[in-house]
Structure 1
């Protein structure tokens, strides 16, 4: 059973910022396309099998029900709420994202 998918406004903004950074700052349109493709692929897996990925390795986020999946050097945080998967945030793995959620 495929779950319904929601992407928070914050995650939508973070996604746009990542793609913009990859294209405009790093001058890597191919890297941006790769990120977008990998994001789509991983979100598809999450939507079909949300429990395929474990709770976040950070205890404070795991306690709040966040799961995580890697997309290149980024971490996508999501929650399963009833029949919905909610993509909450997308952070670079170098960020201290536990304090940002």
Structure 2
């Protein structure tokens, strides 16, 4: 039993370090979409999986706190609203906690 415990502990330790290293590589290379806010991710409970989900869209319902990428900056919706055909800066505040765009 003690031999099994040691083997399991060693394998677990190696796997934990591999996860840490993988996370560091993803963040250093910029290949992942890091979440700028917490507990939500870009204003969503389920993180977006594609950049198109973060781009401004005409005639789309946005909720307060949702984040978009516009002009290489992050913007946060001030309140719940539906967009018009053209982008209106009045509905958005610039996200300044981090520069993830």
Same fold (TM over 0.5): no
Q: Going by fraction, where is strand more abundant, 1 or 2?
A: 1
TM-score with structure 2 setting the length? 0.30
Q: Going by fraction, where is helix more abundant, 1 or 2?
A: 1
Higher Cα radius of gyration: 2
TM-score with structure 1 setting the length? 0.30
Instruction: Identify the structure with bigger relative contact order (alpha carbons < 8 Å, sequence gap 6+).
Output: 1
